[in-house]
Amino acid sequence: MKILFSPEYSGHVFIGLNEQHPELMDTMVCDNMGLVAMLELRLGIHVDDISGNNRTVLYYKAMSEYMKRNPDNALAASFRLSSLGTAEQALRWRDNLVLDKWQANKDDDASGRLNVLAGTEEFFNSPGMSDRLKDVLLYINRVEDGFFKDFDVELPCELAMLHPAIRELLTALQSHGARISSKDFQGFRGNNLSHIAHMLNSSSDVKLTLNKDDRSFQIYKFADEKTANEYLALKGDELQADVWINNANKTMDNWLRMMGKPTMGSSMAEAAPQLIQLFVLGIDMLKEPLNIQSLISWLYSPMQPFGTFFGGILAETVIGEGGYRNDKCRKVVEDYISGKFTYHDKEEEEKLSEEAKAKRDKNEKKERQLLVNTYLPSFDVPSDNKIDCTRLMTYLNSISGWARSRAHFLSEKSGNEGWCSQLESLAQMCDTFVLLLESSDMGEYVDFKQVESWISTLYKGESFMQYAAQRGSRELIDSPSKMASDSGRTVWMNFVGGDVPTLDCAFLYPTERAKVKDSLMLWDERKELDFHHQMQLLPFFMTEEQLILVVTDYVGGEPVPKHPIMVRLESQVENLNDFITEPNLYQEETEKVKLVRNNNIQSLIPFDHADLLKWPQHLSPTTISTLVEYPFDYLMERMLNIVSTGPSSIKDVKTTMGTVAHAVIENLFAPRDGKSCSRVDEIEQRINNEFEEQVRKQIESCGAILYLPENRLDAELLKEQLRRCLGILLEIIRDNRLTVTGCEQMVKKDMGLLKNDKDWDMVGYIDMTLEDANHHPVVFDFKWTSSKSYYRDLLTANRSIQLELYRTMLSAEKRDSVERTAYFLMPEGHLYSKEHFDGIHCTQLQAENNTNIVEQLRQSFFYRKKQLDEGRVEVGEAFPVSMLDYFNDTADKNLFPLSTDDTGAEKENIFSNYKLFKQ
């Protein structure tokens, strides 16, 4: 059996397979761990394979025990600060030392750190690769001579260069019949590439002049990695390379995929995909106050136990309401439990009896209830912020079981390798955390400070597959050290500043190294550096026809250092510039096209299939305002339902503060217990007794983003400003001898706009309705705004659509004229109205005209409706109003006038979500 071995041969290794030679019989490629595992199998050694995270937890447990018995030690302070992080680092040190034949004996002459490691060893029994290699050596020395005579091990370097422990293992195999050979790099092909390879492999500083007619060595130079990837994705096939070297192939695969070419295989380095985040998001959802962002992200995960259908519905409800603990979200969850979002195959349904269906439905309902109890936060706000450890462990065990089950299901179909690796990683992370909880002395309740410290250690970016290599793709390796076979042509991408290798036991202080060097088999530093250098030179020695190095000046917008090999090439190759090419895709592939200018830009945009538009059953003051002034926004949002979704559509902090303020006012000022009104004295008593509780409750219900850490100051500011505003509002009500008759009161009226089966086509919700001393109705509308002029200007210009429609609708409903309406602005705490109100917090404004804008709005509605029904929508923003049909018809048809800016153009809709479409 042939074994291609190198400590660097992890992952995919180039072994020269192609369509002519599609397989190598009886050949194995392995790194240190692979060789040890193969020998264990050959020798019949059974070893439990424990994951790296689980070994870390076991070492943490052992170290905790050592710390209890020896509280004063060199690592005690670090362990108190970050216990799991310290254990993780100490385990790395320990494994490195064991590979170098370290004996865990306490030595007064050794450093305090080494004594801590030695003391911890007493409580630790989880073998790593170093321990397993030591055991394998013991077994090898017991077998008969010639036991490994069928082994033919090929190395990419001389045996003497390898780590002493690896060298000892290979020598033991050799003494039992194995043949050990190394690549011969002394041959000389006579081309430029061969000259360069031998120059780089020597310590000579002799200058070298290359043959200009020999193209065996080339350098492609690009400005940045984007330009390089775009060019080589399009034209790389022309190079006919046998192997490509690229340690960051993600961008290249993105270009190949966009161009419809086979992807080479790539991964996301240091990544934490949303699926993996179910681990940390779920833990975050258990904390109080509830983090709404974590809940939404969990529900929007590409996979989760509820399924994306129900998850999306609940997430959209949370976003729409601004919180989770409210009646609408509770209703959605109850509908899920009852089976509203569950669908069964019709053919299977027909085969079941009614009794079988009832039994199935009962079991499924029980399962759905269990899922809700396990994964979703409670709707009842807990009295304290304590979370039972059992609750956390239930979540972790459940998500782990679900992830493994889902991975098993997906693994049956090809193309799901990426998902499966993420699910397995999620399950392993949860299992590790459960082991950590069981190993700790946390007690009955979760210590979130300790949990967050553990998460920061365990929850790290990993490498996950992005695209698998597809049939017919170029062959890719991510390191030059993974060339195990000769290549005709090689392209080395991303040839920039090489990573500095971490040397054996580099963590040891010079004093520590001096004390232990005689007792350890340390890797000679010179040999270790020579080994890493030899690995970097493999493409130069193992490429027969042409090697192309791809260099860039910038990566990610930042200048990058040159590769050490490039620095040497520039200093020793005198005519290097003759072999540097600067490809330019735009010069090579750009085609001139005839320029077409569209000078006939129209504000009236035609569209097809207008007959498919469906008008709503009713309008509101807000929607009729949008339709009249900005019909394009109305068409997109209200008729085509093109709206933003997902976490990005959560209302901003300022809007949320207004929503919470409205809800608090409604709950404190509205009449209760069937009464027709609320009077000042009882409202004042409610504010004094219930304000704090109402603010907390409404933030949970509709303003949960205020509980995010970055918004805590805004929440405190809201509470302070709202308390002052309620006092002012109460004073205004008292000074004007008003009583509150309703909050968020629905009013309806038939305006003769839309045909429907109801007796009304306009509906609104008035923030507050009141009565004066003569029992005449009064309307207040609340606005949480930082602008002191916007709503004042609406009143003075007689453009307050909302208040005038409320006036008309409530007058019709009460059969009594509403003579006074007003805006109460918060957090300013001031009332603005065209009518008179008593008090220092009230300002009366004079309107520029007394036009009946309600009638104008009716005529404008018919005008806009006619346009849309005919397949035309007018986009007037930034256009001079003289270009707009609507403006030119305003006077003749008694339309609601458009608002213009200083240039004579229609004002922009500052609230529009469709500005991109209007540009």
Domain of residue 531 covers: 192-268+473-581
For residue 865, is it within any domain? no
Does residue 13 surpass a pLDDT of 70?
yes
The radius of gyration of the chain's CA atoms, rounded to the nearest angstrom, is 37
> Is the same domain home to 493 and 453?
no
Q: In this structure, what CATH number is given to the domain that contains residue 199?
A: 3.40.50.300
Could you read off the pLDDT of 599-613 as tens digits, one per residue? 556 788 899 999 999
For residue 848, is it within any domain? no
> Is the same domain home to 829 and 751?
yes
Number of domains in the chain: 6
| Position 351 confidence tier, pLDDT thresholds 50, 70, 90 | confident
pLDDT at 498: 64
For residue 536, is it within any domain? yes
Give the end of a domain, one of 117, 148, 182. 182
Q: Please state the rounded mean pLDDT for residues 183-202.
A: 87
> Is the same domain home to 235 and 170?
no
User: Which of the two residues, 492 and 389, has the higher pLDDT score?
Assistant: 492
Q: Please state the rounded mean pLDDT for residues 224-237.
A: 94
> Is the same domain home to 625 and 672?
no
Contacts of 870 (CB under 8 A, 6+ apart): 610
pLDDT at 701: 92
Give the end of a domain, one of 467, 496, 528. 467
Q: In this structure, what CATH number is given to the domain that contains residue 755?
A: 3.90.320
> Is the same domain home to 792 and 768?
yes
> Is the same domain home to 458 and 361?
yes
Q: Please state the rounded mean pLDDT for residues 226-244.
A: 95
CA distance 620 to 368: 38
Q: Please state the rounded mean pLDDT for residues 184-193.
A: 82
> Is the same domain home to 569 and 533?
yes
Give phi and psi for 534, each to the nearest 5.
-60, -40
**415 SS3 class:** coil
Could you read off the pLDDT of 683-719 as tens digits, one per residue? 999 999 999 999 999 999 999 999 888 898 999 999 9
Q: Model's pTM, two decimal places?
A: 0.76
pLDDT at 512: 85
For residue 588, is it within any domain? no
Does residue 19 surpass a pLDDT of 80?
no
CA distance 29 to 5: 6
pLDDT at 880: 87
Could you read off the pLDDT of 783-817 as tens digits, one per residue? 999 988 999 999 999 999 999 999 999 999 999 99
CA distance 803 to 849: 16
CA distance 407 to 400: 11
pLDDT at 532: 93
Structure tokens at 767: 């923030």
Return the closest-CA partner of residue 432 out of 896, 51, 1, 850. 51
pLDDT at 133: 95
User: Which of the two residues, 495 and 759, has the higher pLDDT score?
Assistant: 495
Does residue 464 surpass a pLDDT of 90?
no
The answer to whether 117 touches 104, Cβ cutoff 8 Å, is yes
For residue 598, is it within any domain? no
CA distance 124 to 113: 16
Could you read off the pLDDT of 640-681 as tens digits, one per residue? 988 876 665 678 899 999 999 999 999 999 999 999 999 999
pLDDT at 109: 60
> Is the same domain home to 531 and 618?
no
> Is the same domain home to 317 and 351?
yes
Could you read off the pLDDT of 873-904 as tens digits, one per residue? 999 887 888 889 999 999 999 999 999 888 88
Strands (E), 719-847: 739-749, 762-771, 777-784, 820-826, 830-833, 842-844
User: Which of the two residues, 295 and 756, has the higher pLDDT score?
Assistant: 295
Could you read off the pLDDT of 491-536 as tens digits, one per residue? 999 999 867 778 888 888 888 888 888 888 889 889 999 999 999 9
pLDDT at 603: 81
DSSP codes joined into one string, 283-298: HHHTSSS--HHHHHHH
Percent of the chain whose pLDDT exceeds 70: 97
| Position 763 confidence tier, pLDDT thresholds 50, 70, 90 | very high
Give the end of a domain, one of 467, 494, 517. 467
Percent of the chain whose pLDDT exceeds 90: 70
User: Which of the two residues, 567 and 592, has the higher pLDDT score?
Assistant: 567
List helix spans (H) across 468-620: 510-516, 525-536, 538-542, 564-572, 585-589
Q: How crowded is residue 309: how many other Cβ atoms within 10 Å of its Cβ?
A: 12
Query: What mean pLDDT, rounded, does the chain reach?
Result: 91
> Is the same domain home to 407 and 493?
no
Does residue 837 surpass a pLDDT of 60?
yes
For residue 851, is it within any domain? no
**914 SS3 class:** coil
For residue 593, is it within any domain? no
Number of H helices, E strands in the chain: 34, 21
> Is the same domain home to 736 and 678?
yes
pLDDT at 20: 58
Span of 48-52, 161-165, 280-284 with lowest mean pLDDT = 48-52
For residue 383, is it within any domain? yes
Q: Please state the rounded mean pLDDT for residues 221-225.
A: 94
> Is the same domain home to 312 and 379?
yes
The answer to whether 571 touches 200, Cβ cutoff 8 Å, is no
Q: Please state the rounded mean pLDDT for residues 85-100.
A: 93
